[in-house]
Structure 1
Amino acid sequence: MVFTTIIILIVVLIIAAIFINAFQQHRAKLEAERRAEVAKQRAVIDETENVILACNTMPISPKMMQILHTRVLNALKVLNELNPSTEVGQRIKDAEQRTQEDDAISSPADFALPENDKLIIQYIQAVKKLRILLRSEHSKGKVDTKTFIEEDKQLEKLQLKVNVETLTRRGRAAMQSNMLGSARQYFEKAVAALENQTQQDEYIVTRIATLKEWLQDIQSNLKNANAQDRARKKEEERDELDELFAPKKKW
């Protein structure tokens, strides 16, 4: 009887140990998932705030800014549920204020191409990131399809404008340095990018006309340069013939 009781106690202890271990593993798993979700939401906040910072010098619509600020706000709310703190609570209030201020913004800033290649690259990367974030919010149902299409189209136009204006600036610099071949290549790339657009707006039409005018000037200059080069070579050949058939001097 005592032996049976001991066996039962041992079995109970083993079962209890199994349950305790399983419970601890479950808690550890939940805690790991919580930490991973906290890290994820912090990454979303940091990523979006960096993009918002880059938007200060970009012609981004008030609606797009509201989408970005709402993305930060939603991430902060999730973060506060997972890891409540006074700091996060205050940031939520600030984010709510910013989303309300977005409605009061009337129009985006004018487009201005950055001064150097490094800033241009950062600008292009920011536009690409904006399109990725917009697509992500749309796939989550946070942005309606109509808004997504309109905003993505605006960002696509902005991306095109950066590309074209960068090529234009390089082409003009090449022209000033009398590197007409390089200038022509830059302008031709810009024209091709513009003509590939299915919807032609005022910017595209005007830019194509200007670029083609410059290409025509380059073509005329190259023809003149080639004509001058041919004339010079012909003159050099004539001088050689004159020298060859000139009367020999008697010594």
Structure 2
Amino acid sequence: MTFTLVLILIGALLLLVIGINVIQQQKERAEAERRIELARQRAIIDETETVLSNTGMIPCSSHIMMILYRRVQDALEIATTLSSSQQKTDYQRRLADLKNQIASLQNSAAQIPAIESFKLPDNDKQILALVQMLKKLKAILRAEHNKGKVDPNVFSQEEGRVDNLQLRINVESMLSRARAASFMKQYGSSKQMVTKALSTLHAIKAQTPNDPFIARKVDEAKLLLDEIMGAQKMSAPSGQKLKNEEDDIDMLFQPKKKW
């Protein structure tokens, strides 16, 4: 009888130990998941706030600002529920400030500045920051649209504006590289890049026909192409020029073919 009781007690103790281990593992798993989710929300907040800090570089509509604000708000609300008391206080304060900004934006008239007002920064570092910002902005816009948080018409309009800005930057980049290639006497590559830039400009012009930026860049690209062609002709070896002239003379005085 005593032996049986001891076995029962040992079994109960083992079950208790196993139960405690299971509960502990569940707590550790829940804590790990909490930390992972909190880190994910922090990353969303940081990424979106970085984009927000650079929106002054582009003609940004109030629709985009609202999408970005809402994204930060959603992430802050989730982060608040997952944070410790000290972190929670900070997130609650930031959330209150953000809600005031959203309310102010909602009470203001919708702003959609013309894309023609965009000016490319002169500084290469700023241009790189702009390229990275537009890439992130487009990814955010698509992600929020896939969640059903962006009206399809707004999504289509704003994605088109981002695409247009990216094309403008690409044009500037192609013309810059074409000048560099021409300077290095790589005329074939230079002409190819200018031709591609002109093709891109005509595509943008179809969307915004009255854009002075596009008209100016078309003239600039054509002038650059003429300069490249002239430089290529001037740099051709004199022997090649003479051979071409002799070929032209031979063609002129060769016997006429009878048909």
1:92 match: 95
Does the 8 A contact of 2:175 with 2:221 survive in 1?
no
**Among candidates 193, 196, 199, match of residue 200 of structure 2:** 193
3-state SS in 1 of match to 2:12: helix
Change (3 A) 1:11 1:120: same
Corresponding residue of 2:7: 7
**1:194 shift after superposition:** 3.0
Structure showing greater radius of gyration is: 1
Output one character per residue of 1:7-35: Cα deviation in whole Å (capped at 9) or x when no partner: 11111111111111111111111111111
CA contact (8 A) 1:113 1:166 kept: no
Q: What is aligned with 1:132?
A: 139
Contact between 2:198 and 2:218, CA under 8 Å: does it hold in 1? Answer: no
Aligned equivalent of 1:72 = 72
Once the 2 structures are TM-superposed, how far is the Cα of residue 102 of structure 1 from its aligned partner?
3.1
CA RMSD, 1 decimal:
3.3
Report what 2:172 is aligned to: 165
Q: Residues 146, 107 of structure 1: CA spacing in aligned structure 2 closer, same or farther, 3 A cutoff?
A: closer
8 Å CA contact 2:121–2:127 kept in 1: the answer is: yes
Q: Could you report, residue by residue, the CA deviation over 1:180-239 in whole angstroms, capped at 9, with x for unpaired residues?
A: 947644422311323456954213863574256425643774587479x869x76xxxxx
Letter of the structure 1 residue corresponding to residue 154 of structure 2: T
1:206 to 215, 218, 222: 215
Counterpart for residue 111 of structure 2: 106
Seen in structure 2, the aligned counterparts of structure 1 residues 78 and 149 have a Cα distance that, compared at 3 Å, is same
Alpha-carbon separation, structure 1, partners of 2:104 and 2:194: 41
Structure 1 residues 223 and 166, CA gap change in structure 2 (3 angstroms): closer
TM-score by length of 2: 0.75
Unaligned 5+ segments in structure 1 are 235-251
Cα distance in 1, alignment partners of residues 33 and 152 from structure 2 = 32
Aligned partners of 1:164, 1:212: CA distance in 2, in Å? Answer: 9
The alpha-carbon deviation at position 74 of structure 1 amounts to 0.7
| Equivalent residue letter for 2:104 | E
Shift of 1:51: 1.1
Alpha-carbon distance change, 2 to 178 in structure 1, aligned in 2, over 3 angstroms:
closer
TM-score (norm 1): 0.77
* Cα deviation 1:132-175 (Å, max 9, x = unaligned): 11111111222222221111111000101111133345657888
Q: Secondary structure at the match of 2:140?
A: helix
Distance 2:124 2:221 in 1: 25
1:51-103 deviation per Cα after TM superposition (whole angstroms, max 9, x unaligned): 11121222221111111111111100001111152211110011112223334
Separation in structure 2 between the aligned mates of residue 20 and residue 127 of structure 1, nearest angstrom: 51
Please say if residues 184 and 218 of structure 1, whose CA atoms lie closer than 8 Å, have aligned partners that are also in contact. no
C-alpha distance in 2 between matches for 1:150 and 1:157: 11
After superposition, the Cα gap between the structure-2 partners of 1:32 and 1:138, relative to the gap in structure 1 and judged at 3 Å, is same
2:55 counterpart residue number: 55
Judge conservation of contact 1:45–1:72 (CA < 8 Å) in 2: yes
Paired AA for residue 111 in structure 2? S
Aligned to 1:16: 16
Structure 2 residue matching 1:5: 3-state secondary structure: helix
Equivalent residue letter for 2:34: R
Matched residue, 2:124: 117
Moved more, 192-201 or 46-55: 192-201
Q: Percent identity between the aligned chains?
A: 37
